[in-house]
Amino acid sequence: AQSVTQLDSHVSVSEGTPVLLRCNYSSSYSPSLFWYVQHPNKGLQLLLKYTSAATLVKGINGFEAEFKKSETSFHLTKPSAHMSDAAEYFCVVSDPFTAGNKLTFGGGTRVLVKP
Amino acid sequence: GAGVSQSPSNKVTEKGKDVELRCDPISGHTALYWYRQSLGQGLEFLIYFQGNSAPDKSGLPSDRFSAERTGGSVSTLTIQRTQQEDSAVYLCASSLFSGASTDTQYFGPGTRLTVL
């Protein structure tokens, strides 16, 4: 069975400072991992995904994430936060042996960006 | 191009009534998923359709929930005899299906269901 734990339910940062959102996963097999963002009253948007091609994955809007198998982690970072980054972020795992690629979501991390 | 669309965007109903939620996937996407986002349970998988195969219903919480997909495109999620705990945002997603777990799922804006 697969599962995802996002270690922080809320993160507060100042504009222009780095952002770190932590995610640990559990999967029986080599997983696919995703980060999605959800702005208020909007749908989920894909930020980036890990496809085993490279452990450091670059996404949209300056975000990147590093897959560390030894630590079963897939933390999301951004060097400099912008006000528009205020949203909820979800770490997601998909087990390649699970029919239909059902996604399992973490509990979410709500990011607040202070001016 | 057009993304995944869902209707209605908001639905308020009384306990015990039936509701239907609609999803229009991205044209050409053969896989379609329904998820539910609620305060208590977070985001959880409900049901999955792929082509003409039998749907994967393993996430449906009770037999009051059902879904169909007509013509391999539009899908309708039906909740019978709604209960207050059914209040949530229902999200639909679609993807091209390559058989790989890296297929990106594209989400619609959701339908917010409130059961009074």
- pLDDT value of position B99: 64
- pLDDT value of position B1: 58
B69-88 residues touching A, CB cutoff 8 A: none
Chain B neighbors of A106, CB-CB under 8 A: 42
Name the residue in chain A with its Cα closest to that of B3. Answer: A43
Q: Is A94 exposed, middle or buried (0-12, 13-18, 19+ CB in 10 A)?
A: buried
Chain A neighbors of B33, CB-CB under 8 A: 100, 102-103
Q: What is the pLDDT of residues A63-108, one digit of tens each?
A: 999 999 899 999 999 999 999 999 999 999 987 666 567 889 999 9
- pLDDT value of position B70: 85
Torsion of CA B8, B11, B16, B21, to 10 degrees: 20
Res. A110 pLDDT band, cuts 50 70 90 = very high
Alpha carbon of B14: minimum distance to chain A alpha carbons (Å)? 23
Whether residue A95 lies within 8 A of chain B, CB to CB, comes out as yes
Q: What is the pLDDT of residues B38-64, one digit of tens each?
A: 987 889 999 999 888 888 899 999 999
- pLDDT value of position A96: 66
Spatial separation of the C-alpha atoms in residues B19 and B90, rounded to whole Å: 12
Closest CB to A100: pick one of B50, B102, B109. Answer: B50
